[in-house]
Amino acid sequence: MLANNPDYQDKKYILSGVLREATEHGNRIEISTTNINDILASASIPDGPFEAMDRILLYIKRHLSTVASYVQITTSDYPIAYAKNNQELDFYLEKLVGLGYLEYSGEGKCRLTLGGWKRLLEIDKQKINSNQAFVAMWFSEETKIAWSAGFEPALAKTGYKPIRIDLIQHNDKIDDRIIAGIRRSGLLVADFTGNRGGVYFEAGFAMGLGVPVIWTCREDCMDSLHFDTRQYNYIVWENPGDLKTKLIYRIEATLPNRHMRRFV
């Protein structure tokens, strides 16, 4: 088994979390030697215990039959919070009860309190402030270096976690994953190099949600842009290094108070 490879032993909980998350949303992911590193890099791991506990609240909400019903959580459910084992899951559940977000009836049965419902409203309002950045672009060998030497390092340097939908293998409808990914993002970078129709769709959808959009295009493709988008202030780039520098400056200029965790 690939997951039993010694090189990935300390990351098994991440793979379990990714697989469980995909299953929760009706998707199927196949892990192989060719995609495992991309899956690990793209995994939406909770940033600390509070975010892990939020994942548990969201899980319970998805499985409720009524507002007052209980949801069963067993020892095998620890991947819902990207926990490393069931003891860590028990710790989160104990703290959720202590915070007044959950009621526990014994034998793993939990339900949301009014405090839990209030917390879920707060989570929903915070989605637009997500540090996830969705990158809509042409996925090809021609643009591969633009991602690795341009988009990815620029977004990381400005405190965002870049997400590319093609890096995770799945068998579900691609549009569903795109929509879900954009909804969870606080920024969308739309690169029109290659003039791909999907990028227009993704940029428009993000704008409809109120997600900030940064428009980019390689210089030699500017003449191919649809006239409806020419009004926007594009980052026109020549090479990946140029793209990285300009994207960092644009993020800092247009989103100065969000995620400015500069890494040296």
Judged against a pLDDT cut of 90, whether residue 46 lies above it is answered with no
3-state secondary structure 87-131: HHHHHHHHHHHHCCCEEECCCCEEEECHHHHHHHHHHHHHHHHCC
Domains of the chain: 2-42 (no CATH), 49-126 (1.10.10.10), 130-254 (3.40.50.450)
Per-residue confidence band for 180, with pLDDT thresholds at 50, 70 and 90: confident
User: Of residues 92 and 177, which shows the higher confidence score?
Assistant: 92
> How far apart, in Å, are the Cα atoms of 9 and each of 1, 2, 5, 16, 78?
11, 10, 7, 11, 17
Interval 90-139: pLDDT, tens: 999 999 999 999 998 878 899 999 999 999 988 876 665 578 899 999 98
Interval 83-102: pLDDT, tens: 999 999 999 999 999 999 99
pLDDT of residue 262: 36
Judged against a pLDDT cut of 50, whether residue 25 lies above it is answered with yes
- As a whole number of angstroms, the distance between CA 242 and CA 231 comes to 22
User: Of residues 227 and 120, which shows the higher confidence score?
Assistant: 120
Q: What is residue 41's three-state secondary structure?
A: helix
